[in-house]
A and B are shown apart, each in its own frame.
Chain A
């Protein structure tokens, strides 16, 4: 057994030291009813590297990888090029096989990285403080709602209709257990987000307004207007971003007045991975809210010799100290994904992120124009970054399935996201990134032309 260093000689010597006649003596506390007479049945026995790799490769080949298709999916997970050095760094054993930095003297690598990560995220979001990561965007979104409840002592939550429906569903699920009252809505299929309708739903009992930016249909709501309206009623604005690359081209939510900014960091460094592990980002615009934040925070301090160093701090908010009074039950978060994000972001830098964003937007504009020229296709959005909604008079889900047979992954149909809304069945979200070629765009356009003819 290649992962087990003990030999039978070792085992019997150790049993001698222990004073046990067999390893069964060490399991004497297990009740009779639960003792087994051998390895668990209906499972295979051990296998070598070659056999295991072959089995897993067979399963992997049953999937259509994005690289083998003309690929246009987004809706909260985006395909970007990740530089080779990112994967090299995250596979260094000192990062890969370390744990939560409970012993800061021998974990400065992780801790300094987390401090840098927090600083990068705070700047990207236009915030004062970011934490050391959450599980993903959807759970970060729920944690922000729970935090708004703690800060405002109110329970009424106004969700924008254009919040990712899975995020809204996570919030709704959790709220059932905390007695928060969730006022949701469906997105209006319109060229502009319905800010007026959203603002009208804010009242004196509202703890927070949750707005996605860019929203689920790819549109860019003016957060400033919503922030003012929320603040006028004593509510917090929670901005949700699922595409951090966009923030290289558009104003940060913090500078537009959002109080808590959360999002998915997967685009930078992490990869698609069929939905996980991803990287939840969480930041607050004003330092005064730091003590209500969930999750780990890394802070700067000095050691006994006066040298700068970093530690996990303000842990009196956390479950291992506060137990049932903690701000969240989160423990393990997304440390290695945070490292991947931070390395990728350092490689990009200000210049690279701005260029990356510009290139995404340029290609998206080309795609939108070319798709608009396809008979039967309408582009919904007035504004967008790298994802927009197109509409046709046919069932978009069926078209997506049909095109997949020709290795065209055309996008995420609104029918997949909102199966219960008939009016959305002709909608398709199309995402375009720097990995999309103009040839891919041509392929999609010709296929749609044929389908819709």
Chain B
């Protein structure tokens, strides 16, 4: 084991018993830069506004057909300086990638380039309406088409549905394509096979699409058990949903054999592309026999996570599934013009350009997808290029393996003996002292200034900790993280009970989630 920290940096350990910031209580409850902030409903009123609008005599409005509002809405308003301060103060209670290392497994929290933000705000992209005459939006259609080209080339697939709004929406799109394709050949299959290690969205999606969900067994190396899968395949299996690299952070070495077996049994292969960052530019899922895969532009292609979206989940499709994709779609014809194909004229367009009508399963959303994310993702792809994206995958995998090998002597790493991981390293809580858990370790990492890893996922490893560093971290940052991670692990193994009450230095200590669920308070109520 090499010294985990080659930079000479050492963490400052707080003196025992120092507690919460030491010092005396303050009158305001504030602690210097850590400011308590009330709700807007507690500081604002219904007479204040932060915008200048004309006073209009509302009694003159006669066209509202008897529906004119008479009751107050109860919306609080703030003048601009107060509003800016409110949200700035709130922002400071958040951890973000800009602030520090955010190794949240399966979420790919990489740096969000600011050029992307600048481009998305160009008036030609930000200030165009989805239903403008197509001749006034050829550049926007061009962006969609160029991004589609990148996605098809990077995945080695045949087509792509651009409209899904996020990963789970993309999964749904892919599964609906599969169901439509099966129905088109009069093949009513009932079962979708999903590994236990899958993201929860996989079984939820398959169930929504009307399928019965059954598990796929894993082998001791954390991979799909190929023989067990083959034994289960049959005329009732519509599809298998496989995450590759899987949620244990491992590449499925039998992926091609799995696909061949599924195809031979008449089913389709859905690949969850959440972990595409590990292989982008290096491996094309199309070469592995995948029929459909969603791509989270907010993971692999750096569009911001935004505190929980918006995402974007285009779905690449094999030749067999492409005719079933949803409307609308874009297509570039031989004359170089990019067309928007909607319900109207879809058959005529397909007849002219593809030799016959297609069998679209329908429409996923009102308009054309997450344009604001398309511009960002395309900007990112053009910045990296094919060579840079390959380097992205390699550095992401290198960083994860470096963490795996720098931790395995102190922390249980169930799959480390079987070989390298991909873009994320998986650990378990096997050697923790009684009474201390993965949750406690995660909260201890908060005190050390890190966003914790993904906890308790995947479900197949007890007390799982999934660490995804991404490629946008320097070696120095990762070395510092390893030093801190090792120290918290040692504390968990030694039974340091201060972890059980961590975090000690965050804006809040541990939250009472039971009370939140038992007596849900989901909206502000005015005091009596």
Contact = CB atoms under 8 A, between A and B. Distances in A.
A17 B55 CA distance: 69
Contacts of A362: 56, 60-61
Nearest to B62: A365
B161 to A, nearest CB: 12
B171 A329 contact: yes
A17 B398 CA distance: 11
A191 to B, nearest CB: 10
Interface in B359-399: 361-373, 375, 378-379, 382-392, 394-395, 397-399
Contacts of B428: none
Interface string B298-341: 10001011111111100000000000001000000000000000
Interface in A164-189: 164, 166-167, 169-170, 172-174, 176-179
Given A40-B154, A300-B521, A52 B379 contact: yes
Nearest to B367: A275
B47 A351 contact: yes
Interface in A360-406: 361-362, 364-365, 368, 381-385, 400-401, 404
Given A99-B102, A404-B136, A300 B516 contact: yes
Nearest to A127: B523
Contacts of A52: 115, 119, 379, 382-383
A91 to B, nearest CB: 6
A346 B40 contact: yes
B420 to A, nearest CB: 4
A45 B509 contact: no
Interface string A318-331: 11111111101111
Interface in B502-521: 503, 506-513, 515-517, 520-521
Interface in B28-62: 37, 39-41, 44-51, 53-58, 60-62
B487 to A, nearest CB: 19
A315 B522 CA distance: 13
Interface in A245-275: 247-252, 255, 264, 271-275
A358 B2 CA distance: 69
Contacts of A302: 511-512, 515
B474 to A, nearest CB: 4
Interface string B124-155: 11111111110111111011001000100110
Given A33-B256, A324-B203, A324-B207, 18 more contacts: A5-B473, A23-B398, A27-B283, A77-B129, A89-B87, A94-B98, A96-B112, A166-B366, A249-B68, A275-B367, A275-B368, A320-B200, A331-B200, A336-B307, A349-B77, A358-B61, A384-B65, A404-B133
A355 B308 contact: no
B63 interface: yes
B231 interface: no
Given A97-B97, A303-B510, A304-B510, A351 B46 contact: yes
A179 B304 contact: no
A434 B130 CA distance: 20
B471 A276 contact: no
B440 to A, nearest CB: 13
Contact of B288 (A31, A89, A264): A31
A115 B39 contact: yes
Contact of A177 (B104, B127, B208): B208
B524 interface: yes
A169 to B, nearest CB: 4
Interface in B74-89: 74-78, 80, 83-84, 86-88
7 tightest CB-CB pairs across the interface, nearest first?
A349-B77, A383-B65, A173-B362, A275-B367, A93-B98, A62-B139, A336-B306
B220 interface: no
Interface in A3-35: 3-7, 10-11, 13-20, 23, 25-31, 33-35
Contacts of B119: 52-53, 56-57, 60
Given A98-B307, A307-B508, A383-B63, A63 B91 contact: no
Contacts of A27: 251, 282-283, 397, 420
Contacts of B48: 349, 351
A373 to B, nearest CB: 16
B69 interface: yes
A211 B161 CA distance: 29
A332 B386 contact: no
Contacts of B113: 3
A166 B365 CA distance: 7
Given A14-B402, A303-B508, A1 B388 contact: yes
Interface stretch (A101-109, A151-159, A227-235): A101-109
Contact of A332 (B168, B366, B384): B168
Contacts of B405: 17-19
Q: Which of B6, B121, B139, B455 has the most CB of A within 10 A?
A: B139
Interface residues of A, number: 211
A110 B115 CA distance: 24
B77 A103 contact: no
Given A52-B115, A59-B124, A173-B364, A352 B200 contact: no
Contact of B308 (A296, A352, A401): A296
B305 A98 contact: yes
A269 B406 CA distance: 46
Contact of A17 (B2, B203, B210, B311): B2
Given A29-B419, A115-B524, A250-B68, A97 B363 contact: no
Contacts of B391: 1, 4
A409 B63 contact: no
B206 A169 contact: no
A39 B136 CA distance: 36
B15 interface: no
Contacts of B201: 319-320, 329, 331
A14 B398 contact: yes
A100 B384 contact: no
A324 B204 contact: yes
Interface string A72-86: 010111010001010
A345 interface: yes
A328 B165 CA distance: 14
Interface residues of B, number: 216
A118 B522 contact: yes
B237 interface: no
A148 to B, nearest CB: 15
A105 B506 contact: yes
A311 B51 contact: no
Contacts of A339: 87, 306-307
B153 A43 contact: yes
Given A28-B420, A384-B63, A83 B75 contact: no
B520 A55 contact: no
Contacts of B209: 177
Given A65-B123, A97-B304, A273-B125, A137 B366 contact: yes
B392 A4 contact: yes
Contact of A273 (B200, B253, B372, B477): B372
Contacts of A179: 210
A260 to B, nearest CB: 15
Contacts of A2: 383
A196 interface: no
Nearest to B113: A3
Contact of A348 (B51, B98, B110): B51
B77 to A, nearest CB: 1
Nearest to A120: B75
20 contacts: A6-B471, A45-B385, A52-B382, A65-B128, A95-B91, A102-B455, A103-B442, A105-B510, A220-B65, A250-B69, A301-B521, A304-B501, A325-B207, A330-B168, A332-B166, A335-B307, A349-B78, A359-B53, A365-B62, A381-B63
Q: Which of B112, B125, B443 has the most CB of A within 10 A?
A: B125
A44 B66 contact: no
A94 B91 contact: yes
Contact of A409 (B60, B93, B129): B129
Interface string B272-310: 000000010111100110000000101000101111111
